[in-house]
């Protein structure tokens, strides 16, 4: 447990380490009255002064370069005190050292209380108390001549006491604290403040913050990056147009072009300053084994493996296709833009021009099959062909995400965001063979991609009729299946048994750079680490009950079949025991060693497989002019 101290205790600890009364500073028996070593050569000093004692010149060298030199970082004025204590020790009063100090740094000293020790620092102009545990500060305990006060990295959340009777500050630093609302400022008390740092706090209402800060008559530099209000698309333009006295915003100089482009921005009606917008692109999932998707055509039911990438996000949020959003924003969306490109499969990546409200707290790409592996090359070409056992899945996830929950988004960006690669194992039952159902191939693909859940199974119906046959009318009697009138209507039901999903790889990304003004874009090739331990399938509450019912039905059906098969095998096995034993001996002696892979719930754990990778780009939307804000409002 940490032991907290006061400011006076931290200051006394520094003075004790300084030890001005010890060698080589101070007035001790190690020094003589001479200033330079050359004075020892003079005849009048040879007999009077002891040559073994040190001169002032030697003591100064030891104080600066020798083993007795002390590096002092907590005050710039301590070096002057050290020089004075070496040259003229009598001139330094040990009881009034605080009068010599104008700059004081008490950083990372576990300070939680500011006591009245600073009231005696009459000449103190700069006080830095960063990286401590101060939760509130009383302005009446600060020196009257203080101009710079830095409180970065503390626990301050209440600023009302600071604004009672503050000193004539020119800079106030409150970054990385717990400030949720700005202090109530009196322009008469803060008329000398030039710089204010409120970055990386929890300011959530931009209108309220700027209404308070616009009262400062001499404010030239302001830092608000890292706050929830920073996520607003028009944050910079809104701030520049509101506080006209600013010259620097978030350590970036405000140019004349910016002032012109954002002129009148703060007067836009119906402008919501609590919204944010992200451009998210996820593509090219690499490292998936192509052999995992190999399916035997004559085996029914068959197993399908699909993959998708998901990540943590806030809820709720609106999602829209990025290409359509940009086209609508530019006013060029027409039928040609809405039409699909012929080279793109609309089932894989449709251009969605509508907004969707997502209530899930995740970003999830579409599910995709790995490309079908190519047949093995001939033995003569096996050495020249490259290894294509690992394929690339084009995820093609390019969306615009928008929400008004800037506080939740701010919390998400300040922490590491987790991404996962999920493998879905789908068992399809009662699927028609290709020879019998050539006309239903396209419908079958659609049914496998987005199945509807019905009674514990995902069921999708595909109705197939021949071209020469007509469907029976509903009003005519006997028009149904098995009736006397009309042609037969062949209806085939495709059942998709409960899915089994498993996280095969995970990674975490640090998105705090999006909270900085000079870096609102994150682009990286993410490397996922495969899960080595057994991961339980991801199921919801209803899915778990449905899966239990399905497994129970499967066991009851398979138990009957196994009993019948056991009876038949017992009859035939008694006749062929001797032959099978001899054959098995030969096989065990001549067959090559079989390489086995560990599986978990039907999935390959892939201990020797390489890491998966995904290319990801996240951009925080920024408006560059008032025109951008108006066009966005028209789009809404």
pLDDT, one tens digit per residue, over 306-344 is: 899 999 999 889 999 998 888 887 764 444 444 444 433
* Count of C-beta atoms within a 10 Å radius of residue 222: 25
Residue 614: predicted pLDDT:
95
Q: Which residue has the higher pLDDT, 510 or 57?
A: 510
For residue 623, being part of any structural domain is answered with yes
Q: What is the CA radius of gyration of the chain?
A: 38
For residue 291, being part of any structural domain is answered with yes
Q: Which residue has the higher pLDDT, 281 or 561?
A: 281
Q: Give the pLDDT band (50/70/90) at residue 554.
A: very low
Residue 562: predicted pLDDT:
52
Q: Alpha-carbon distance 233 to 629, whole Å?
A: 8
For residue 319, being part of any structural domain is answered with yes
- Written as one string, the DSSP assignment of 590-635 is HSPPPP---EETTEE--TTSPPEEEEEEEEE----SHHHHHHHHHH
Residue 167: predicted pLDDT:
92
Highest mean pLDDT among 451-455, 566-570, 611-615: 611-615
For residue 422, being part of any structural domain is answered with yes
Q: Are 57 and 40 in contact (CB under 8 A)?
A: no
- Written as one string, the DSSP assignment of 498-528 is PPEEEEEEEEEEE-GGGGBTTB-EEEEEEEE
Q: Give the pLDDT band (50/70/90) at residue 377.
A: low
- Is this model's pTM higher than 0.85 or not? no
For residue 627, report the phi and psi dihedrals to the nearest 5 degrees.
Answer: -60, -35
Residue 217: predicted pLDDT:
92
* Count of C-beta atoms within a 10 Å radius of residue 68: 13
Q: Alpha-carbon distance 499 to 457, whole Å?
A: 9
Q: Alpha-carbon distance 584 to 277, whole Å?
A: 67
Q: Which residue has the higher pLDDT, 299 or 341?
A: 299
Q: Are 257 and 584 in contact (CB under 8 A)?
A: no
Q: Which domain does 404 fall in, by range?
A: 283-297+304-339+392-427+493-537+598-636
First to last CA, the chain: 53
Average pLDDT, the chain: 74
3-state secondary structure of 148: strand
Q: Give the pLDDT band (50/70/90) at residue 582.
A: very low
Least confident of 120-134, 186-200, 231-245, 591-605: 591-605
Q: How many domains does the chain have?
A: 1
Which residues are within 8 A (CB) of 595 and not within 5 positions of it... i.e. 6 or more apart?
none
């Amino acid at each position: 447990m940490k032991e907290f101290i006061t400011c006076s205790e931290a200051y006394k600890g520094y003075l004790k380490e300084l030890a001005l009364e010890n060698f080589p500073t101070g007035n001790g028996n190690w020094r003589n009255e001479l200033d330079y070593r050359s004075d020892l050569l003079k005849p009048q000093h040879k007999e009077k002064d002891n040559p073994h004692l040190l001169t002032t010149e030697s003591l100064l060298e030891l104080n600066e370069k020798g083993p007795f030199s002390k590096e002092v970082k907590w005050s710039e004025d301590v070096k002057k005190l050290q020089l004075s204590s070496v040259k003229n020790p009598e001139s330094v009063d040990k009881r009034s050292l605080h009068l010599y100090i104008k700059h004081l740094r008490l950083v990372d000293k576990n300070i939680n209380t500011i006591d009245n020790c600073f009231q005696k620092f009459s000449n103190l102009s700069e006080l830095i108390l960063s990286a401590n545990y101060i939760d509130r500060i009383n302005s009446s305990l600060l020196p009257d001549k203080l101009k710079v006060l830095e409180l970065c990295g503390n626990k301050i959340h209440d600023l009302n006491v600071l604004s009672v009777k503050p000193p004539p500050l020119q800079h106030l630093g409150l970054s990385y604290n717990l400030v949720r609302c700005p202090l109530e400022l009196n322009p008469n008390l803060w008329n000398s403040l030039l710089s204010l740092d409120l970055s990386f706090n929890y300011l959530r209402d931009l209108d309220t913050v700027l209404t308070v800060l616009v009262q400062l008559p001499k404010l030239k530099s302001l830092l608000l990056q890292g706050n929830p209000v920073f996520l607003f698309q028009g944050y910079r333009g809104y701030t520049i147009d509101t506080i006209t006295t600013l010259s620097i915003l978030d350590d970036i100089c405000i140019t004349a072009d910016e002032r012109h482009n954002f002129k009148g921005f703060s007067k836009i009606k119906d402008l919501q300053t609590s919204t944010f917008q992200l451009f998210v692109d996820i593509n090219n999932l690499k490292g998936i084994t192509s052999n995992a998707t190999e399916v035997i055509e004559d085996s029914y039911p068959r197993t399908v493996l699909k993959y998708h990438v998901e990540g943590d996000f806030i809820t709720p949020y609106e999602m829209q296709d990025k290409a359509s959003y940009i086209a609508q924003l530019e006013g060029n969306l027409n039928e040609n833009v809405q039409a699909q490109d012929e080279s793109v499969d609309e089932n894989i990546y449709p251009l969605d021009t509508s907004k969707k409200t997502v209530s899930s707290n995740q970003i999830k790409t579409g599910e995709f099959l790995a490309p079908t592996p190519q047949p093995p090359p001939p033995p003569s070409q096996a050495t020249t062909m490259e290894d294509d056992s690992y394929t690339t899945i084009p995820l093609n996830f390019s969306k615009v995400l928008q929400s008004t929950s800037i506080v939740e988004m701010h919390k998400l960006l300040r922490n590491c965001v987790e991404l996962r690669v999920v493998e879905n194992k789908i068992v399809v039952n009662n699927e028609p063979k290709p020879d019998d159902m050539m006309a239903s191939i396209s419908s079958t693909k659609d049914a496998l991609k987005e199945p509807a859940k019905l009674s514990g199974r995902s069921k999708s119906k595909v109705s197939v009729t021949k071209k020469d046959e007509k469907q029976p009318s509903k009003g005519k009697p006997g028009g149904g299946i098995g009736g006397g009138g009309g042609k037969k209507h062949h209806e085939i039901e495709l059942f998709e048994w409960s899915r089994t999903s498993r996280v095969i790889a995970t990674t975490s990304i640090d998105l705090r750079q999006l909270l900085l003004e000079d870096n609102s874009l994150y682009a990286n090739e993410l490397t996922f680490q495969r899960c080595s331990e057994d991961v339980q399938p991801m199921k919801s509450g209803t899915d778990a009950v449905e899966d239990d019912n399905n497994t129970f039905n499967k066991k009851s059906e398979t138990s009957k079949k196994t009993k019948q098969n056991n009876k038949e095998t017992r009859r035939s096995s008694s006749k062929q025991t001797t032959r099978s034993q001899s054959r098995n001996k030969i096989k065990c002696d001549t067959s090559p060693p079989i390489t086995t892979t560990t599986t978990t719930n039907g999935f390959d754990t892939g201990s020797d497989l390489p890491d998966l990778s995904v290319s990801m780009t996240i951009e925080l939307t920024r408006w560059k002019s008032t025109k951008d804000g108006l066009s966005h409002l028209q789009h809404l």
